[in-house]
Amino acid sequence: MLALCFLAGAALATIYQIFAADLPTFDALVDYNPKESTKVFAADGTLVGEFFEERRTVIPPREIPEVLKRAILAAEDAQFYEHEGLDYVGIVRAFFKNLASGETRQGASTITQQVVKTFLLSPERTYSRKIKEAILARRLERNLSKDEILYLYLNQIYFGHGRYGVEEAALFYFGKKARDLDLGEAALLAGLVQSPARLSPIRHPDRAKQRQRYVLERMLENGWISQAEFAAEIDRPIRVAERPEDPPGPYYLEEVRRYLVERYGNEQVLTGGLRVYVSMDPRLQRVADRAVREGLIAYDRRHGYRGPAGRLDEARRAEVEAKAQGEHAVDVLSLRRVSLEPGVRLFGAVTAVSDATATIWFGGREGTLERKDAAWALGNRSLSTLLKKGDIVHVEVKSARGSKATLALWQDPAIQGALVAIEPATRRVVAMTGGYDFAQSSFNRATQALRQPGSTFKPFVFGAALESGRWTPASLVVDAPETFRDPWTGKDWKPQNYERNRFDGTMTLRRALALSKNTVPVRLISELGPDPVIDFARRAGIRSTMPKNLTLALGTGEVSPIELANAYATLAAQGMHAEPVLVERVEDRRGVVLEENRAKPSPTISPALSYVLTRLLQAVVEEGTGARANVLDRPTAGKTGTTSDGRDAWFAGYTTDLVAVSWAGFDEPRPLGRGETGGRTAVPAWVEVMKAWHEKRPAREFPIPEGVEFAAIDPKTGLLAPVDAPPEAVEEAAFVQGTAPTERALAPGLHPADAPLELFLGGSGR
């Protein structure tokens, strides 16, 4: 017996030496830095986004409530505080069960062993791994306290639905922090650990309730809760938190992610637990997302129905029926199963159609489409002229009850759009939308798309002209057809106005911008040359390449919406330029500030000239092509833009408080169609965003800097208006001090010879 004991001891010692020789150290546990999601917080402090490989938020031991600890121990390891890392009785029981089955099916893992397995070993089920696990568990118990081990476990384990650790689990299932969990909630989370997918209260509430009862019974047996507490919870139904709506600004968040990856690397962004504070205003961002989407849908419906997505053949019908397996609804195009709930959009096949109704088939389910719910595509026609039996059509579920669903004809817009809103003083980007649907296309048209700005570029041409001192808002210019020889390209060019053959003759520079005349900026740039215009635009904030020829006058260079918005923000900020700010602060997981970003304004355009340009752009909104934007009940400046071939529609505008730029166009540029201008296509989204921002803000005038003077102008002569001239015959204009006209026009009825007039037909002018 002694010999046998000696041999057994020697064998165990040998086994121990073999398996203990190359075991990992506890560095990863002592310096616990798990994969933790990067969280993005908006300007109001709300969480608006996360970037992660494992969705985890590590919390300190003091924030883990005692009720949750006890629930976890009841479910997983009731003797945790008594044993030294191993449950020997459980190990023997599992050994014989595995031996009987011939497979390694069961373990007897304590929480300590689970920590070892999660952090230090592979998940394979082998006897050698179990031996290593046992050795490491004993070592771990000697190196860390029980509370430290439990802290690691509760922050590391998986709770289903992509959530790791108790904090993320509490937030996901109950909409509260772990420290605020009650007994029933703690017991439910504890029960999930065994099999998060099989016991999910969202997908399998009955199983989750059964497991919760087991945990409560174990807590009662161990004396950790009273009979009254047990009775109060045992039959209480499970109530999980309502799923929150999708966070606002997916394009904004993607831009933030790209910025962070460039600065810190992809691994740090996905696993480093950064805390990122951005300039986004969540309320305004939601308005911007919705306004762009609705504006694009409105455009799409103005241009009619593009027809069915295809035809249902026998092969596709068989695939749909196989996927449906009875009562399931199936998207006929993608073959994915779909719940027919209000707001869901999917493709179905027309199985019957009359003048008033159509029946749409989705495999195991059907829906009814009435004529009134396709009116936008029909006009005065009947439904049978639009749809044919076998057509595959896109529909939206209006309502669904039992086996019946009421549908509306749907069509995703082919057009795209973008909107950027910036505070001019701080350059904080408070909202940014880069397209119709981020799920369909993550390409951010607000920052990544370069498009011709068209007439929204004209303020920089006019600004350069005013800055030269050769023109003022009262200078007379001529809107007339003329063929120009472009010295920079050597080609002849005859610019046209939007109205093609309409030319209004002599007018003031102010009026020419308000009406967005194309001939006038071409005349200006032919006298100035492109370099002063490019320089002015650069100082405002345009960074993209601009052509050095006459076409620059009509915005034939390409810019991004955020670039244009920031250039307009320079005008709104009295000539102070700064770069736009999306990310304001980044902290590491310990709260150490890694970077802080604030606007660093520098004067690039004189305040007086910026104000004069602002007043010219006010005339665009109050009297000219931007009249649809004149709805804010406060001073508003802006400029419409429609490229010469009608491929881009823009509106750029601002108040004292906010600058916003709205753009619409096709990704593969093509004409938007008759009547689609910046004023019609781009302004509606701009208006919605500006209304939302100014809803509770008082109206403010644009501040008047030093060096500005005002004058009432006679639009026919460019001179000071006659005394007692009626308001409708006067243009109120701002001037850089010392440049306003000094002569007064004669009152109507006097002989023209007594009124000296110098028409601007070249480069001279008042």
Residues with catalytic annotation?
76, 455
What phi-psi label fits residue 537: left (phi over 0), alpha (psi between -120 and 50 degrees) or beta? alpha
Give the whole-angstrom CA distance, residue 147 versus residue 116: 15
How deeply is 105 buried, as exposed, middle or buried, from its count of CB atoms within 10 A (0-12, 13-18, 19+)? Answer: exposed
Give the whole-angstrom CA distance, residue 629 versus residue 3: 99
Residue 438 CB contacts under 8 Å (≥ 6 apart), including other chains: 250, 251, 254
Are the C-beta atoms of 189 and 173 separated by less than 8 Å?
Answer: yes
Are the C-beta atoms of 505 and 536 separated by less than 8 Å?
Answer: no
Reference 256, options 247, 532, 97, 638; nearest CA is 247
Give the whole-angstrom CA distance, residue 354 versus residue 356: 5
- Assign 446 to helix, strand or coil: coil
Structure tokens at 599: 């606007």
Structure tokens at 231: 């009775």
How deeply is 675 buried, as exposed, middle or buried, from its count of CB atoms within 10 A (0-12, 13-18, 19+)? Answer: exposed
3-state helix, strand, coil in the chain (%, to 5): 40, 20, 40
Are the C-beta atoms of 630 and 663 separated by less than 8 Å?
Answer: no
DSSP string covering 508-561, please? EHHHHHHTT-SHHHHHHHHHH-HHHHHHHHHHHT--S---SSGGGGGT-S-B-H
Which residue do the tokens 């009262």 mark?
A: 474
The torsion angles phi and psi of 501, rounded to 5 degrees, stand at -95, 15
Are the C-beta atoms of 429 and 422 separated by less than 8 Å?
Answer: yes
Are the C-beta atoms of 240 and 161 separated by less than 8 Å?
Answer: no
Give the whole-angstrom CA distance, residue 349 versus residue 213: 47
Q: How many CB atoms lie within 10 A of CB 213?
A: 16
Question: For residue 577, what is the enclosing H or E element?
Answer: strand 576-577
Give the whole-angstrom CA distance, residue 337 versus residue 321: 11
Give the whole-angstrom CA distance, residue 473 versus residue 34: 64
What are the CA-CA distances from residue 102 to residues 95, 253, 631, 685 (Å)? 10, 52, 79, 68
Are the C-beta atoms of 569 and 660 separated by less than 8 Å?
Answer: no
Q: How many CB atoms lie within 10 A of CB 726?
A: 9
The torsion angles phi and psi of 433, rounded to 5 degrees, stand at -120, 130
Reference 544, options 527, 556, 528; nearest CA is 556
- Amino acid letter, 619: A
DSSP string covering 38-59, please? EEEE-TTS-EEEEE-SSEE---
Looking only at the bridges linking them, the beta strands covering 404-409 and 366-370 are parallel
The torsion angles phi and psi of 201, rounded to 5 degrees, stand at -70, -15
Question: For residue 464, what is the enclosing H or E element?
Answer: helix 458-467
How deeply is 551 buried, as exposed, middle or buried, from its count of CB atoms within 10 A (0-12, 13-18, 19+)? Answer: buried
